[in-house]
Amino acid sequence: MTGRSVNNVKNKLIMAISGSAVMAALMSAGTAHAQQAADNGAGDIVVTATKTNTVAAKTPVAMNILTGAQARASGVHDLSSLATTIPAVTFSTSAEASALIGIRGVLSQSDSEIGDPAVAVGVDNFFANRTYTLNQSLYDLARIEVLRGPQGTLYGRNAIGGVINFITQKPTKDFEGYASVTAGTYSTLNSEGAINVPIGDKVQVRASWGTSSHGAYYGNTQQIGGNNHQSSASGRLAVAFQPTDRFDGLISLQYTSTDGTGGTFQEIPFVNNATNTDIVHQLPSGVYSKNWGTMVPFYLGVTDFRLHWDFNYQLSDLLKLNYNGGYDVVHYNYQQSNDDLINNVARKFLQHEVPLTQSHELRLSSDDRKRLSFQAGFYYFNESSSLDSGTQALYNGQFVRRSHYVDPSIVTESVAVFAQGAFKITDKLKLSAGLRQTWDSRQRTGTASYFTNGVLSSTATQNGNVKTDRLTYHVGLDWTVSPTTFLYGKVDTGYKAGGFNTSGILTFPYGPETSTVFEGGLKQQMFSRRALFSVAGFHNAYKGYQADLGLCTLCNNTIAGIVNAGNAEIWGIETSLEAKVKPIGLINLSVNYLSAKFTKFDGTYTNQQTDGSGPTVPVNLAGNYLPQAPRWTISGGVQHDFSLGKLGTLTADIKGSYRTSQFFSIYNFPENEQKGYFLGDAYVEYKPDNGRYSVQAFVHNFTDKQYMVFSTDNSGNGAYLYGYGDPRVIGVKFTGYFK
């Protein structure tokens, strides 16, 4: 890093941290008269972001927290609805129906069987590479924790952008439960529920379920059933047990199935420019349509079985041993329209994948109330997958093969050791530091076959392997200025594993992505803890950006595939306020600023033409914005309870978010840009005094805004491709509670 860039980093951090300190001083003075503790204050929710139990207002992590009740009331049932509820999260789909999640401008552009996510997304600390079934697992939740920024020391691989952890409701020692049914437009019919049964003093059982279905959100002029329809069902059985005072355990089983189209996309034929040297780079006519045609229907079918466990053993008064692990097996079947719009030929892409994932973490921790505390452990991850995929085209009235990829063995393995400690310099000042060493490997065995009009013409190996490793670290300093004022500063590093491309009999590896983030933040509780104000400033030196580029004989890349093409500078300031204000009610406001630009990018660009041909040339993309990195994100909401006396309570809630423009392509072409847009949700809920049931009327996306979640220029199709978010949905939900 040059002296000038070091000074830039210092200046930005000084601004952020100084602003936090000034705010802390002012707010501490303004609220010194109100230091009395209040139950259930803003920021008092207990979280596990640091793998220990801490309250959110005293946790040195920039985070967003949703309780299970908040998630249910807001209608969070999948990753898309989470991104609209927590605007710090960006969501998009891919051409293979996977969910691509980004935080602070860090987003993976590869979701293939040999790719990795940039944000670790999991359930109960069980993280998998594939997000196929996460949308169907978001029911009966205790809370959702979104950790912004790299979490490379405690969470490890692929947490370079952050972590999203869905924490399910654990069995309790009370007989209780609930059940809800939701009905709405687009034939929406959802249900969710749980029953909790204690069996004696030592065992508790909780059975829960979630179902979701809706009709086509968008029409298809050539296919019955339309686009973007889906149905799913999932059930979970959890057993908690405490055979001794020192040991407790939890075992859960979950089965999920889903089918429908998943997220589809619109295909719009390329338009050549005036000189026929490239396509026109502007929004094409027909984009943002509510109806479009595809010559082949989409289909998504997934089944998933998951076994998960979490065991804790109190070795002594000071030491505890935790073992968290699980197995997950998925059967994934997908069909996608892959129409050839150049020659007007129906084509399809088919994929069947069976990934088996296992992870194991053994962690030893000490009592974090002591002056010196630590946690250390071992982590093992393995994904063993088989894949059968390829393309077919309509020829003489029937579909015949164009390509066929058979990969009987794809193995991704990760091993890590880690340790992090904290030392209380004084009662108010705490120093923390940690290290994690990770070793990653991936290998694939397979064959690619290519056909001409259904007749085999050539074959090539799919074999490849790569090994990468990285040491990540954390250094932080926390200052509890007062019982309601918390300041922190830290340096964190993140790591996303490298991979490989195959060409003929050769393997071409690419290196990992890395990030080094300087961050300072303030968490200030005010007005007897009825309000929590948070601010964080950060700077991210993001290196080794993995980009999928074309073959360019004039460039330094000698194959078509993923290469480490560039570096980026990402910095921003994030603010949020949660306050209970009489007589208004609960107010939430968040304002985030993000600057995410490439500082170096030796890329390539293939000139697109309507006949599918065009030369590939070198391009310098330095100065371009990273994909899905809106400069401003603003969100807010108001919730008010109207007392109806003995009849109960009527709760009204309205919230909205605004994102400025963002690109879905590294090239920042206008046709891949989503202009700034607003999304809003609202609901009204009645609950009687006895709390036995509730009735809610809601509307999601009440302005019915159509917005992109996917956009690319696809030379194979000869088309601009666009995927869209959910339209306005109006419905009612009835929930019953029992004890």
User: For the residues of 670-714, what is the DSSP string, one character each?
Assistant: GGGEEPPEEEEEEEEEEE-TT-SEEEEEEEESTT----EEEEEEE
Which residue's entry shows tokens 């600057």? 595
pLDDT tier at 38 (50, 70, 90 boundaries)?
very low
Report pLDDT digits (tens) over 261-285: 888 999 999 998 998 889 999 999 9
Contact 608, 553 (CB under 8 A): no
pLDDT score at 556: 53
Contact 12, 19 (CB under 8 A): no
Lowest average pLDDT, out of 137-146, 488-497, 657-666, goes to 137-146
Mean pLDDT within 540-566: 76
pLDDT tier at 506 (50, 70, 90 boundaries)?
low
Residue 104 β-bridge partners: none
Contact 362, 378 (CB under 8 A): yes
Contact 227, 218 (CB under 8 A): yes
Contact 207, 194 (CB under 8 A): yes
Contact 366, 381 (CB under 8 A): no
In three-state secondary structure terms, 499 is: strand
How many other C-beta atoms are found inside a 10 Å radius of the C-beta of residue 505?
A: 8
How far is C-alpha 92 from the geometric centre of its chain's CA atoms? Answer: 9
The radius of gyration of the chain's CA atoms, rounded to the nearest angstrom, is 26
Which residue's entry shows tokens 């932080």? 476
Q: Which amino acid is at 309?
A: W
Closest CA to 107 of 725, 671, 709: 709
Mean pLDDT within 84-109: 78
Contact 597, 583 (CB under 8 A): no
C-alpha span between 303 and 391 (Å, rounded) = 23
pLDDT score at 680: 95
Q: Which residue blocks in 51-103 are alpha helix, DSSP H?
A: 68-74, 79-85
pLDDT score at 29: 37
pLDDT score at 356: 95
C-alpha span between 162 and 107 (Å, rounded) = 10
Mean pLDDT within 574-578: 95
Report pLDDT digits (tens) over 410-433: 999 999 999 999 999 999 999 999
C-alpha span between 356 and 386 (Å, rounded) = 9
C-alpha span between 147 and 159 (Å, rounded) = 10
pLDDT score at 32: 35
| DSSP 8-class letter at 218 | B
How many other C-beta atoms are found inside a 10 Å radius of the C-beta of residue 39?
A: 6
pLDDT score at 115: 79
How far is C-alpha 10 from the geometric centre of its chain's CA atoms? Answer: 30
For residue 4 the two structure tokens come to 């000038």
Could you tell me the end-to-end alpha-carbon distance of the chain, in angstroms, rounded to an integer? 61
C-alpha span between 237 and 206 (Å, rounded) = 6
Mean pLDDT within 625-645: 95
pLDDT score at 611: 66
In three-state secondary structure terms, 401 is: strand
Closest CA to 510 of 473, 549, 553, 552: 549
CA distances from 3 to 6, 7, 647 (A): 5, 6, 68
Residue 329 β-bridge partners: 305, 356
For residue 724 the two structure tokens come to 């869209």
Residue 25 has pLDDT above 60, yes or no: no
Residue 587 has pLDDT above 90, yes or no: yes
C-alpha span between 401 and 394 (Å, rounded) = 9
Residue-wise DSSP of 578-620:
EEEETTTEEEEEEEEEEEEEEEEEEEEEE---TTS---EEEEE
pLDDT score at 33: 35
Closest CA to 679 of 8, 206, 75: 75
Residue 436 has pLDDT above 50, yes or no: yes
pLDDT score at 604: 86
Residue 465 has pLDDT above 50, yes or no: yes
For the chain, domains (ranges, CATH) are 3-738 (2.40.170.20)
Mean pLDDT within 580-592: 94
pLDDT tier at 505 (50, 70, 90 boundaries)?
low
Percent of residues, the chain, with pLDDT higher than 70: 90
pLDDT score at 98: 67
CA distances from 245 to 196, 201, 239, 316 (A): 22, 12, 17, 11
Contact 210, 218 (CB under 8 A): no
C-alpha span between 81 and 734 (Å, rounded) = 20
pLDDT score at 15: 47
Q: Between β-strands 162-168 and 119-123, what pairing exists: parallel, antiparallel or unpaired?
A: parallel
pLDDT score at 352: 94
Report pLDDT digits (tens) over 98-146: 678 889 999 887 667 777 888 988 899 998 887 776 666 789 999 999 9
Contact 598, 648 (CB under 8 A): no
Beta-carbon contacts of 178 under 8 Å, excluding residues fewer than 6 positions away, are 193, 194, 735, 736, 737, 738
CA distances from 350 to 217, 297, 333, 401, 459 (A): 23, 11, 8, 10, 19
pLDDT score at 717: 84
Report pLDDT digits (tens) over 210-236: 999 999 999 998 888 899 999 999 999
Residue 555 β-bridge partners: none
C-alpha span between 291 and 120 (Å, rounded) = 35
Lowest average pLDDT, out of 105-114, 183-192, 444-453, 609-618, goes to 609-618
What does pTM read for this prediction?
A: 0.91
For residue 60, cis peptide bond before it (omega within 30 degrees of 0): no
C-alpha span between 253 and 232 (Å, rounded) = 17
Report pLDDT digits (tens) over 685-725: 999 999 999 999 999 999 999 999 999 998 888 899 999 99
Mean pLDDT within 60-76: 88
For residue 685 the two structure tokens come to 């809920």
Mean residue pLDDT of the chain comes to 88
pLDDT score at 87: 76
Residue 14 has pLDDT above 80, yes or no: no
More confident residue, 674 or 95: 674
How far is C-alpha 198 from the geometric centre of its chain's CA atoms? Answer: 34
How far is C-alpha 425 from the geometric centre of its chain's CA atoms? Answer: 36
C-alpha span between 464 and 445 (Å, rounded) = 7
Beta-carbon contacts of 166 under 8 Å, excluding residues fewer than 6 positions away, are 122, 123, 124, 134, 137, 138, 141, 144
Report pLDDT digits (tens) over 180-208: 999 999 999 999 999 999 998 999 999 99
Residue 676 has pLDDT above 60, yes or no: yes
For residue 597 the two structure tokens come to 């630009």
Q: Phi first, then psi: give them for residue 36, nearest 5 degrees.
A: -65, 135
Lowest average pLDDT, out of 22-26, 367-371, 639-643, goes to 22-26
C-alpha span between 313 and 319 (Å, rounded) = 9
